[in-house]
Amino acid sequence: MSKFRFAVLASGEGSNLQALIDEVHRRGVASLVLVLSDNEGAMALERARLASVPAVALPPLPREGRKSYHQRVGKVLAAVEPDLIVLAGYMRLLPPEFIAAMPPIINVHPSLLPAFPGLHAPLQALDYGAKITGCTVHLVDKGMDTGPVICQEALPVLPADTADSLHQRLKSLEHAALVRVVKAFALGKVKIIGRKIELEEDTDGNQDSVNQCI
């Protein structure tokens, strides 16, 4: 079992979480120590339970503010001492105090940021008439999908694409990119210097595989 510990926040289907379970956790590259969801019915929680990963449903209380809710989330996370937090389809904006108190937090988004931030990015790309879109893994800051980019991969938009078909193809790209980035963190190859992200080369001079998607 790897010593590098990561936690995942997810609100929905959890296909990105599944990729991390299969390609990172089960392969012993890093240990997934907690999956937390704000949505009791999230399939992500079921995926965690099936993999024997601790799964916590923590819905916000009625009229509970973002700050108070994330103080509770922060306590649960702090107890498992993660080295990295991954937002994998987590549908809430994090307050700055939470980000400051936590280890690095990364997010995966289905567009080439800064294009099409926020909700329904594949639909935004279609409506705009974009011919190429893609996915981004980035560090989380206090903005909506504004943090420093770690990894991006591009994908052509096909004439017959619907928002759903495009999103499904983007998700396959997201899974691979997210797995590469979490592995790079686990291997100590990611250096964060302000807004600049440096990815170390292998000792034999080869570029680390994470660099292929930059």
* Footprint on this chain of ligand GRF (rule: CB under 6 A): 10, 12-16, 88-89, 108-110, 171, 174
Q: Closest distance between ligand GRF and the C-beta of residue 10, in Å? A: 6
Q: Closest distance between ligand GRF and the C-beta of residue 119, in Å? A: 9
| Choice among 25, 70, 109, 175 that is catalytic | 109
Handedness of CA 7, 10, 16, 21 (dihedral sign): positive
User: Who contacts 10 (Cβ-Cβ below 8 Å, separation ≥6)?
Assistant: 16, 17, 35, 36, 37, 42, 44, 45, 87, 88, 89, 90
Q: What residue is closest to ligand GRF based on CB? A: 89
Q: Which is nearer to ligand GRF, 83 or 174 (CB)?
A: 174
Q: Which is nearer to ligand GRF, 9 or 197 (CB)?
A: 9
Q: Which is nearer to ligand GRF, 83 or 145 (CB)?
A: 145
Handedness of CA 21, 24, 28, 33 (dihedral sign): negative
Structural Rg of the chain based on CA atoms = 17
Q: Is 175 a catalytic residue?
A: no
Q: Which is nearer to ligand GRF, 89 or 95 (CB)?
A: 89
Cα 73 to Cα 64: distance, rounded to the nearest angstrom:
12
Q: Closest distance between ligand GRF and the C-beta of residue 160, in Å? A: 20
Cα 196 to Cα 171: distance, rounded to the nearest angstrom:
26
Residues recognised as catalytic:
109
